[in-house]
């Protein structure tokens, strides 16, 4: 199927109508509906794949290090490809980049299915994960920048809100269904993960078809050659725009310090903490995206924020407070509630930051700025998980010199609490520092 408009005659931006104030007005736009549907498919399949890869690697190796190498492979791909990905997103047709990345990602899924079915060496699994991560690195900036061409500026904050909600909803269902399918399939097959990889191939193909049917496309007016100077444009622009720099810095350090997700298995399995087992662990994992989905629904039904900067600062501060409360809690449902709050306020942060970055960035730089943004947030996620585990180990088993038995279990619990609580305190301190260093954030008004 071919594009219905030629590059010389690109479609006009969607025209705003009187009914555009409705929370659902953005769904009247055909291209946005196709884009969001494709995103639902893609994220759903990717989350299922995440569960399957973790399960298969641990089943085959029984090594936690094997799981840690997954993040390392994805981080290397991100570090190597982020700057070229941003340059391509600004200097080539973004729709075609998205389609190409989806083809590469689906090919990696087929490779994983074959490796799993043939029980090939696990090294090939990491090769496919590196390929898939490379595809996502090129997909992220092109997709983020492409969204701005699908809806009028006035509706962009609502588009971002629904886009974020779709991501979280797909995450919840993908993670839950992925685990459930493996539990069922392993009773009938020696290669249950292979079926999950094939499902991800199908969801990526569905996303490909949805994006292919989108009529809007990005036209490059003045393409720039790839050079070190042009590759660094995203960094230069962010550091020159104090408002964007402050927002990205705030989110990056909040993710690095305040995330408790990496230590949820300890809270669920340690007898001195929540001790709720696998079912409780699943509920704890689901609490954050559930909070995000409900917050997205709330934001979609209210007018755009009038004091977006203050809302951002307050929400990140609440994220830190809820993280502290979660770390100190020994009651499961209170802990669930605090993670729910973390998910809800984090969604506000995502909407404000993503909307602001896209609207305050010129179109010819959006890809490179989006790439740098995804690099900062993506690496802080990976490093944040390492930081949480390291602090828990440092103030737990290492501090108490515990190596086995009940003393080790108690030391792990103590170190985990210290890690989460100190991370929450650090997040609040970051909010205060950012509000002082970048007063532009406090003064930032209407999000539109």
User: From CA 397, how far away is CA 351, in angstroms rounded?
Assistant: 39
pLDDT higher than threshold 50 for residue 385: yes
pLDDT higher than threshold 50 for residue 5: no
What is the maximum alpha-carbon separation in the chain? Answer: 71
Question: Residue 284: its pLDDT value, please?
Answer: 81
Q: Between 139 and 383, where is the model more confident? A: 139
Name which of 284, 286, 288 is nearest 266 in CA terms. Answer: 284
Most confidently predicted of 296-300, 311-315, 406-410: 311-315
Same fold, 26-214 and 228-448: yes
pLDDT higher than threshold 80 for residue 303: no
Q: Which of 55-64, 304-313, 365-374 has the lowest mean pLDDT?
A: 55-64
What are 170-208's pLDDT values in tens digits?
Answer: 877 887 787 778 778 888 888 888 999 999 999 999 999
CATH code that applies to domain 228-448: 1.20.1250.20
pLDDT higher than threshold 80 for residue 304: no
Q: With bands split at pLDDT 50, 70 and 90, how would you rate the model's confidence at 18? A: very low
Q: Are 288 and 388 in contact (CB under 8 A)?
A: no
Q: Are 419 and 388 in contact (CB under 8 A)?
A: yes
User: From CA 292, how far away is CA 164, in angstroms rounded?
Assistant: 8
Q: Are 57 and 70 in contact (CB under 8 A)?
A: yes
- DSSP line for 137-175: HHHHHHHHHHGGGTS-GGGHHHHHHHHHHHHHHHHHHHH
Torsion of CA 296, 302, 306, 312, to 10 degrees: -20
Most confidently predicted of 51-60, 106-115, 260-269: 106-115
Which two structure tokens, joined as six digits, stand for 338?
A: 């605090």
CA distances from 162 to 142, 204, 446 (A): 18, 20, 18
Q: Are 108 and 54 in contact (CB under 8 A)?
A: no
Question: Residue 10: its pLDDT value, please?
Answer: 35
Q: How many other C-beta atoms lie within 10 A of the C-beta of residue 127?
A: 16
User: From CA 3, how far away is CA 218, in angstroms rounded?
Assistant: 12
**What are the residue ranges spanned by the domains of the chain?**
26-214, 228-448
What are 422-439's pLDDT values in tens digits?
Answer: 999 999 999 999 999 999
State if pTM tops 0.95.
no
Identify the CATH homologous superfamily for domain 26-214: MFS general substrate transporter like domains (1.20.1250.20)
pLDDT higher than threshold 90 for residue 315: yes
pLDDT higher than threshold 80 for residue 68: no
Q: Are 2 and 129 in contact (CB under 8 A)?
A: no
Mean pLDDT value of segment 34-53: 89
């Amino acid at each position: 199927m071919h594009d219905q408009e030629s590059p010389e005659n690109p479609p006009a931006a969607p025209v705003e109508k009187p009914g555009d104030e409705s929370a659902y007005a953005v769904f009247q736009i055909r291209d946005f509906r196709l884009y969001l549907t494709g995103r639902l498919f893609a994220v759903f399949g990717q989350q299922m794949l995440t569960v399957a890869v973790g399960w298969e690697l641990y089943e085959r190796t029984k090594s936690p290090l094997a799981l840690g190498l997954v993040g390392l492979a994805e981080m290397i791909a991100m570090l190597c490809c982020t700057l070229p990905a941003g340059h391509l997103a600004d200097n080539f047709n973004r729709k075609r980049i998205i389609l190409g990345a989806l083809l590469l990602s689906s090919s990696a899924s087929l490779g994983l299915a074959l490796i799993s079915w043939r029980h090939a060496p696990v090294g090939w699994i990491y090769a496919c994960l590196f390929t898939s991560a490379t595809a996502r690195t090129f997909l992220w900036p092109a997709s983020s920048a492409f969204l701005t061409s699908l809806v009028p500026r006035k509706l962009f904050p609502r588009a971002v809100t629904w886009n974020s909600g779709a991501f979280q909803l797909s995450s919840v269902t993908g993670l839950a269904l992925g685990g459930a399918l493996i539990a069922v399939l392993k009773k009938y097959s020696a290669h249950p993960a292979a079926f999950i990889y094939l499902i991800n191939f199908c969801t990526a193909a569905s996303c490909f078809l949805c994006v292919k049917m989108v009529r809007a496309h990005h036209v490059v007016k003045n393409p720039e050659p790839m050079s070190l100077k042009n590759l660094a444009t995203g960094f230069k622009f962010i550091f020159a725009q104090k408002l964007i720099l402050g927002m990205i810095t705030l989110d990056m350090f909040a993710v690095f310090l305040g995330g408790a997700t990496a230590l949820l298995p300890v809270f669920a399995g340690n007898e001195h903490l929540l001790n709720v087992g696998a079912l409780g662990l699943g509920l704890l994992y689901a609490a954050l995206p559930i909070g995000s989905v409900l917050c997205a629904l709330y934001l979609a039904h209210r007018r755009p924020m009038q004091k977006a900067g203050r809302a951002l600062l307050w929400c990140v501060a609440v994220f830190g407070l809820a993280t502290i409360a979660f770390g100190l809690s020994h009651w499961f449902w209170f802990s669930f509630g605090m993670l729910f709050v973390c998910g809800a306020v984090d969604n506000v942060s995502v909407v404000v930051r993503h909307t602001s970055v896209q609207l305050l960035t010129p179109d010819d730089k959006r890809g490179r700025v989006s790439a740098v943004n995804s690099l900062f947030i993506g690496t802080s996620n990976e490093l944040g998980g390492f930081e949480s585990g390291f602090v828990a180990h440092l103030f737990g088993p290492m501090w108490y010199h515990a190596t086995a038995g009940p003393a080790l279990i108690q030391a792990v619990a103590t170190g985990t609490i210290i890690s989460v609580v100190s991370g929450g305190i650090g997040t609040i301190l970051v909010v205060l520092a950012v509000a002082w260093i970048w007063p532009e954030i406090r003064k930032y008004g209407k999000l539109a």
